[in-house]
Amino acid sequence: MKKFVKFCLFSFLTLGVFATVFVGGYVGINLIKFQSIPLNTEALTSPSLSIDVYSFENKKIDEENQFNGDFCKLETLSDNTKNAFISIEDKEFYHHHGLNYKRMAGAMLNNLKSLSLKEGASTISQQLIKNTHLSGEKTFERKLKEIALTKKLEKAFDKDEILESYLNIIFFGNNCYGLESASEYYFNKNASELSLDESCVLAGLIKSPSKYSPITNPENCLTRRNLVLSEMEKDGFISASEKIQAQNQPLKLDVQKHNTNSKINSYSQSAIDEASKILKLSPKQIAIGGFQIHTYQNEAKQTELENALTSCQAENADNAGIVIDAETFGVSAYSANSNFKVLDCQRQPASCIKPLLVYAPALNEGVISPDTQILDEKITIGGYSPSNVSKKYAGYLSVTDAVKNSVNIPAIKVLSYIGIDTGKQYAEKMGIKFDEKDDSYAIALGGMTYGVNLMDLTSAYTTFSNKGEFSPATFVQYITNSDGKLVYVHKPQPHMVLREDSAYLMTNILQETAKTGTARKLSSISNTEIASKTGTVGKKNTSGNTDAYNISCTPEEVIGVWFGNLSNDAVQIVGGNQPTEVVRKFVQSQKYEKTEFEVPSSVATAKIDALELEENHRLVLASPYAPERFTKTALFSRFNMPNEVSENFSQKPQISAEASVEDGQIVLSLNAQKHLTYQIFKDNIPYQNIKEKSGELKLRINFPENECALKIVASYSTPEDSDTQNALSDIKTFNLKRTAPKPQPKEKWYI
């Protein structure tokens, strides 16, 4: 037994030594190899770089997208500002030679435990190299390159030069590269004027600009700021009283209104942001590398969208619009007027989520058709008691009417028919992302934990214009490097989410919304068919709203427009008003080749019994004998056709009537039925028609003759119907005679 234990220990020791030698040799060889990688000093010291972005027509987009245009010198910054970054990012910055081996060992141990490369233990020097020379990939090879270049950096520059370069290239969110740019954006002041707590806000922000954003996540931002202050106290940079005083300061932003064509929301900036994710390089690295970004922008559409947004401003509200080509899934136009990067913002989608989460999935599952009747009533479901915006309930509504008038209760009910999970699965396939807490029926009305951004919401609607197929929208068409060689090409890979018939039926419902529903401002559009959905996010106890949308589909493209603000102040905006007006102006300015939605062969029309629909709220096929006025032509998927034929109008009608003669008149008592037409003939001459009457009727007809024939013909058709001769009918005849007066007995003249 002892020999076996010794053997095992010896084997493990041998393997450990071998592994150490192997890993050490691999690391050593690669570090020597990577020593040949040159240090790009221009990337470290250049205060300003630009990226070339081109339109679909291969014209350079004339929009500003400079980086580090605002450069700050280290000597102008306060000690508190410099020390805030050192305390939270690299405490040993002035004492190590670029690498913190203790932190690296700890990070390596944690990575081995988690079998990942989550922790990097990067010093400020390493972060500077990573942001100017390397991709964002987390691989051992990239880490070794980082180490080799960091050593070169430390030899070529002193610590203050490294810190200055770092502070001028680091990303602070909202298109802010460098401390000066961030200071001006968030606090409307120079970096040299930053207070202690403001410095700590920015120092805490760089770890994750979205998670710790002072605009979209103020609570996270304050928690992170207070952590930075605590670290500064530990490091002896500030006193306990200074820490407490700064931690008690509220978050005070002073975000100034940017120019309408500000680069923060420009088309080119959005393309750069997307290219950064594609190449896994920071925008700074893209600029340094000389990459060229070719997009789907249509210059004419871009101009018209900007004009439409500018002409439809709402007081105290930002706005944004996006146009996505249904065939290429490319963004042909995008513009926004806001202090904030709109496409980074998730907002409640309101009723615009209903077609994606509720109605299109239900159509595809065969649960509903456009004319399916839903009872609009006060309900409580799963502990949730929703209400309509009007606080009124309309009784039975068709699905089409519920959608076009944006009635809430039917949406909740239909989601309950298919199930929340099923609805979410469909919406997720169309690019909508849900939080795990989005598990209540409130999501049918757009009540999400975080919401969606305008691009994802608009992109999801391309499913309807594209016959049920979806692929995420994109700004970038292809990217070339400094040598003009392709490094990326967008190749859409659409997948089917809905059958063609389901997509068309949903589109047809949304066309009704544009004609007579909440988007009826679009009813004047004549240059193309258009389908539309509006959405409005209200605010309790106020007369205004926080968000308003219009998402509209034509056969060629999808247009999404949003009005609102991130402060959530109630403003006078409604989905059917300003956003819809922007869509109307844009669409009317366009010339389309394809102007009609194509009807797939899997969509059929059928005549349904309107009487059964009205009285019993059921979709059943009309009897072939049913008159036109009691039928309704409805659209169906061929996979979800009704197969029951109505019993109405399928049997011979019955006449319930009596006729008598009184005081020289014919008295006709008729028990009328509303769906029957009665023709009354006197001696075969038409006398009177009765229709749309129900209940006991009593008619008096002049009767000067001694006798006549009274005939009643009851049918389902009217005399005007073209198929009268084919209609089932009943005939009842009365042969009437005038009754001679009964002779009176003569009085006796005698007693």
* DSSP one-letter string for 180-248: HHHHHHHHSS-GGG--HHHHHHHHHHTT-TTTT-TTT-HHHHHHHHHHHHHHHHHTTSS-HHHHHHHHT
Q: Are residues 568 and 687 in the same domain?
A: no
Q: If residue 488 lies in a helix (H) or strand (E), which one and from where to where? A: strand 486-489
Average pLDDT score, the chain: 87
Q: If residue 30 lies in a helix (H) or strand (E), which one and from where to where? A: helix 2-34
Q: Are residues 634 and 692 in the same domain?
A: no
Decide if 648 is inside a domain: no
What the block records as the tokens of 740 is 């001679």
Model confidence at 572: pLDDT above 90: yes
Q: What is the mean pLDDT of residues 543-556?
A: 95
Q: How far apart are CA 597 and CA 503, in angstroms?
A: 11
Give the pLDDT confidence score for residue 261 in this predicted structure.
43
Q: Are residues 11 and 101 in the same domain?
A: no
Give the pLDDT confidence score for residue 218 in this predicted structure.
93
Helix/strand/coil for 269: helix
Q: What is the mean pLDDT of residues 462-471?
A: 97
What the block records as the tokens of 48 is 């300003």
How crowded is residue 117: how many other Cβ atoms within 10 Å of its Cβ?
15
Q: Of the ranges 63-67, 121-125, 268-272, 463-467, which one carries the lowest mean pLDDT score?
A: 63-67
Q: How far apart are CA 164 and CA 182, in angstroms?
A: 15
Model confidence at 528: pLDDT above 70: yes
Decide if 506 is inside a domain: yes
User: Per-residue confidence at 541, pLDDT binned at 50, 70, 90?
Assistant: confident
User: What is the residue type of 725?
Assistant: Q
Model confidence at 77: pLDDT above 70: yes
On the CB side of 584, CA atoms within 13 Å amount to: 19
Q: Of the ranges 338-347, 453-462, 553-562, which one carries the lowest mean pLDDT score?
A: 338-347
Q: Is 506 exposed, middle or buried (0-12, 13-18, 19+ CB in 10 A)?
A: buried
Q: Are residues 732 and 678 in the same domain?
A: yes
User: Per-residue confidence at 695, pLDDT binned at 50, 70, 90?
Assistant: very high
CB contact set of 526 (below 8 Å; sequence gap of 6+): none
Q: Are residues 24 and 43 in the same domain?
A: no
Name the CA dihedral angle for 9, 12, 15, 16, rounded to a multiple of 10 degrees. -100
Q: What is the mean pLDDT of residues 427-431?
A: 98
- Higher per-residue confidence, 171 vs 373: 373
Q: Are residues 155 and 180 in the same domain?
A: yes
Which CATH number does the domain housing residue 366 bear?
Answer: 3.40.710.10
Decide if 274 is inside a domain: no
Model confidence at 113: pLDDT above 50: no
Helix/strand/coil for 571: strand
Decide if 119 is inside a domain: yes
Decide if 593 is inside a domain: no
With pLDDT > 70 as the criterion, what percentage of the chain qualifies? Answer: 85
**pLDDT (tens digit, 9 = 90+) per residue, 451-462?**
999 999 999 999
Q: Are residues 75 and 163 in the same domain?
A: yes
Q: Are residues 193 and 237 in the same domain?
A: yes
Q: What is the mean pLDDT of residues 277-298?
A: 90
Q: Which 8-state DSSP code applies to residue 521? A: G
- Report for 42-51, 252-261, 272-281, 282-291: range of highest mean pLDDT: 272-281
- Higher per-residue confidence, 69 vs 260: 69
How crowded is residue 366: how many other Cβ atoms within 10 Å of its Cβ?
14
| 314, 578 contact by CB (below 8 A) | yes
Listed residue (395, 397, 343) closest to 372, CA to CA: 397
Which CATH number does the domain housing residue 225 bear?
Answer: 1.10.3810.10
Say what the pTM is: 0.77
Beta bridge partners of 670: 657, 697
Give the pLDDT confidence score for residue 33 in this predicted structure.
47
User: What is the residue type of 435?
Assistant: D
Structurally, the chain folds into a number of domains equal to 5
User: Per-residue confidence at 259, pLDDT binned at 50, 70, 90?
Assistant: very low
| 54, 292 contact by CB (below 8 A) | yes
How crowded is residue 267: how many other Cβ atoms within 10 Å of its Cβ?
27
Decide if 750 is inside a domain: no
Q: Are residues 50 and 20 in the same domain?
A: no
Q: Are residues 242 and 311 in the same domain?
A: no
Q: If residue 21 lies in a helix (H) or strand (E), which one and from where to where? A: helix 2-34
Q: Are residues 103 and 223 in the same domain?
A: yes
Q: What is the mean pLDDT of residues 285-314?
A: 93
Give the pLDDT confidence score for residue 301 in this predicted structure.
97
**pLDDT (tens digit, 9 = 90+) per residue, 587-640?**
999 999 999 999 999 999 999 999 899 999 999 999 888 888 889 999 999 999
Q: Of the ranges 217-226, 312-321, 386-395, 546-555, which one carries the lowest mean pLDDT score?
A: 386-395
C-alpha gyration radius of the chain: 38
Helix/strand/coil for 635: strand
Model confidence at 565: pLDDT above 50: yes
Q: Of the ranges 86-95, 150-159, 292-301, which one carries the lowest mean pLDDT score?
A: 150-159
Q: What is the mean pLDDT of residues 422-430?
A: 98
Q: Are residues 57 and 74 in the same domain?
A: yes
Decide if 744 is inside a domain: no
Domain that holds residue 550: 304-588
Decide if 320 is inside a domain: yes
Which CATH number does the domain housing residue 664 bear?
Answer: 2.60.40
Give the pLDDT confidence score for residue 19 in this predicted structure.
45
Model confidence at 47: pLDDT above 80: no
Listed residue (643, 636, 668, 641) closest to 655, CA to CA: 668
What the block records as the tokens of 212 is 């710790």
Q: Using CA of residue 511, residue 515, residue 519, residue 524, what is the dihedral sign?
A: positive
